[in-house]
């Protein structure tokens, strides 16, 4: 919800603080870029200090950053507050994954499906809630409402969520720094191009990112040793699950940005009807994720993941073709059906990717979880930026076609995954460290 709650009132916010369209989009991007930057560090913190404690810290920071955003008088301050919200949000996935993996290991498929469904609920409630609050109380109350909800979650996390003890996990400083710089610089390069920025500046970002990742890859040969224990991030289930998670989040970014533009341009819908039509995507994501656990029980994680990817490619193709081929008067209904197909596929792929991740040995390593979430968030940021780059060209086949290529590549990669091992509990962390 944190990433989508300002999508409906974004124009109102821009007008109130005197921000240009490019500037207000940067305020949106700052949230995602901060998540990408901090995800591996947040994963390590969950392992070192305990997931419940880090979850509490992140929710407290979220409350403060949302309240600060409500007081924004200019774009610069809003960007800083949105970035802090992204920092806070980066710790939530690894914390939740560790708790679910430790205490619900025997029901891992259903637990991960429930987690994926919760993501869909948040994404579906964000736009209508933000629009309703902005229309009735004003845009500042959008952030205050989210601050209140975060405060409620903070209380619940401290009273209901079981604790996962911390472990003696030393911080690999050079590995963490080079990874954060490398991935963030590459994502920043794509985001900069999406803002119609200079190609020369984007190229500099890309070079810095590549150099940082080359340095990162060489750290295993030094005295400091590898960033993550050997074999964890190259294990087949981890690789396929991470690739699927990044790909599906990129498709989410494309769908939730490009589709409203087409609904307005091709079908002439206003903001209210567009919001209602887009609910089909999020609701389908929410409903399909729990259903995927039953599919997995009859088939396997690999087959259900690959099947979800096939339907995802079909859904993206439908989003491309429906506005141009649907009979007159049925365009909206056809788009709802296409969004429902796409959302269902997204829900299945998200749930199966999460299940595959938590079935791998990397599930016990906070940094490996953080790296997974870093690449997942990066996929979302790249999806947003890809629409900003490709949509103005008018070549819609490019907007939707490139994501389909990535989906196909992920489908091939998913063949490497072995059936998940028995749902053994995640190895216990060392006691005595908090």
Q: What is the pLDDT of residues 306-358, one digit of tens each?
A: 889 999 999 999 999 887 777 767 878 888 999 999 999 998 898 888 888 88
Distance, C-alpha 138 to centroid of its chain? 28
Distance, C-alpha 396 to centroid of its chain? 24
- 10-160+227-416 CATH fold: Growth Hormone; Chain: A; (1.20.1250)
Q: What is the mean pLDDT of residues 7-23?
A: 79
pLDDT recorded at residue 427: 45
Residues 6 or more apart in contact with residue 118 via CB below 8 angstroms: none
Q: What is the mean pLDDT of residues 411-416?
A: 83
Q: Give CA torsion, residues 13, 17, 23, 25, to 10 deg.
A: -10
pLDDT recorded at residue 271: 64
Residue 417 pLDDT exceeds 70: no
Q: What is the mean pLDDT of residues 81-93?
A: 92
Q: What is the mean pLDDT of residues 219-235?
A: 72
Residue 124 pLDDT exceeds 70: no
Distance, C-alpha 234 to centroid of its chain? 22
In this prediction the pTM is 0.80
Q: Which of 342, 334, 343, 344 is nearest to 267 (CA)?
A: 334
pLDDT recorded at residue 432: 37
Q: What is the mean pLDDT of residues 16-31?
A: 80
Q: Pull the structure tokens for residue 211.
A: 């150099």
CB 404 within 8 A of CB 273: no
| Ranges for all domains in the chain classified under CATH 1.20.1250.20 | 10-160+227-416
Q: Which of 70-74, 229-233, 252-256 has the lowest mean pLDDT?
A: 229-233
pLDDT recorded at residue 423: 41
Point out which residues pair with 166 in neighbouring strands.
Answer: 433
Q: Which of 418, 409, 416 is nearest to 312 (CA)?
A: 409
pLDDT in tens, 274-307: 777 888 888 888 888 777 766 666 666 677 888 8
CB 265 within 8 A of CB 246: no
Strand ranges for 295-348 from DSSP E:
none
Of 18-27, 145-154, 274-283, which has the strongest mean pLDDT? 145-154
For tokens 């994720």, the residue is 289
pLDDT in tens, 162-215: 888 777 777 888 888 898 999 989 998 988 888 778 889 999 999 999 999 999
pLDDT band at 120 (very low <50, low <70, confident <90, very high): low
CA atoms within 13 A on the CB side of 430: 7
Report the mean per-residue pLDDT for the chain: 83
pLDDT in tens, 347-394: 889 888 888 888 888 877 878 888 888 898 889 888 888 888 888 888
pLDDT recorded at residue 403: 95
Q: What is the mean pLDDT of residues 220-224?
A: 64
Q: Pull the structure tokens for residue 370.
A: 């953080």
Give the chain's count of helices (H) and strands (E).
15, 0
Q: For the chain, what percent of residues have pLDDT higher than 70?
A: 87
pLDDT recorded at residue 278: 80
For tokens 């947040």, the residue is 42
pLDDT recorded at residue 398: 92
Is the pLDDT higher at 82 or at 122? Answer: 82
State which H helix or E strand residue 314 sits in. Answer: helix 301-325
Q: For the chain, what percent of residues have pLDDT higher than 90?
A: 29
pLDDT recorded at residue 428: 45
Q: What is the mean pLDDT of residues 111-120?
A: 71
How many Å apart are CA 62 and CA 81, to the nearest integer? 9
């Amino acid at each position: 919800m944190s990433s989508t709650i300002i999508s409906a009132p974004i124009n109102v916010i821009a007008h109130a603080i005197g921000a240009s369209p490019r500037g207000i989009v940067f305020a949106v991007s700052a949230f995602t870029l901060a998540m990408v930057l901090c995800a591996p560090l947040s994963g390590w913190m969950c392992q070192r200090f305990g997931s419940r404690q880090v979850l509490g810290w992140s929710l407290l920071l979220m409350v403060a950053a949302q309240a600060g955003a409500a007081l924004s008088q200019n774009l610069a301050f809003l960007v800083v507050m949105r970035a802090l919200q992204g920092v806070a949000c980066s710790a939530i996935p690894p914390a939740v994954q560790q708790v679910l993996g430790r205490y619900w290991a025997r029901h891992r498929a259903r637990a991960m499906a429930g987690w994926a469904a919760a993501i869909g609920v948040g994404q579906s409630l964000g736009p209508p809630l933000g629009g309703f609050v902005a229309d009735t109380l004003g845009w500042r109350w959008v952030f205050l409402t989210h601050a209140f909800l975060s405060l409620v979650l903070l209380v619940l996390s401290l009273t209901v969520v079981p604790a996962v003890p911390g472990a003696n996990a030393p911080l690999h400083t050079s590995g963490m720094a080079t990874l954060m710089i490398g991935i963030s610089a590459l994502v920043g390069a794509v985001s900069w191009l999406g803002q119609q920025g200079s190609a020369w500046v984007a190229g500099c970002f890309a070079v810095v990112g590549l150099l940082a990742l080359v340095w990162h890859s060489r750290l295993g040969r030094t005295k400091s040793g590898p960033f993550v224990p050997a074999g964890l991030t190259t294990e087949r289930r981890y690789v396929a699950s991470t690739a699927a998670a990044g790909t599906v989040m990129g498709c989410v970014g494309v769908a939730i940005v490009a589709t409203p533009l087409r609904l307005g341009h091709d079908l002439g819908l206003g903001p209210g009807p567009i919001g209602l039509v887009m609910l089909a995507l999020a609701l389908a994501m929410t409903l399909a994720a729990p259903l995927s656990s039953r599919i997995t029980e009859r088939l396997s994680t690999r087959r259900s993941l690959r099947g979800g990817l096939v339907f995802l490619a079909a859904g993206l193709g439908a989003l491309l073709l429906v506005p141009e081929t649907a009979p007159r008067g049925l365009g909206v209904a056809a788009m709802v059906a296409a969004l429902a197909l796409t959302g269902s596929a997204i829900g299945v792929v998200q749930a199966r990717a999460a299940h595959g991740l938590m079935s791998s040995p990397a599930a016990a390593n906070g940094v490996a979880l953080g790296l997974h979430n870093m690449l997942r968030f990066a996929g979302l940021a790249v999806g947003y930026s890809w629409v900003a780059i490709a949509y103005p060209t008018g070549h819609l086949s490019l907007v939707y076609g490139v994501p389909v290529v990535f989906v196909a590549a992920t489908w091939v990669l998913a063949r490497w995954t072995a059936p998940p091992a028995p749902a053994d509990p995640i190895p216990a962390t060392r006691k005595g460290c908090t």
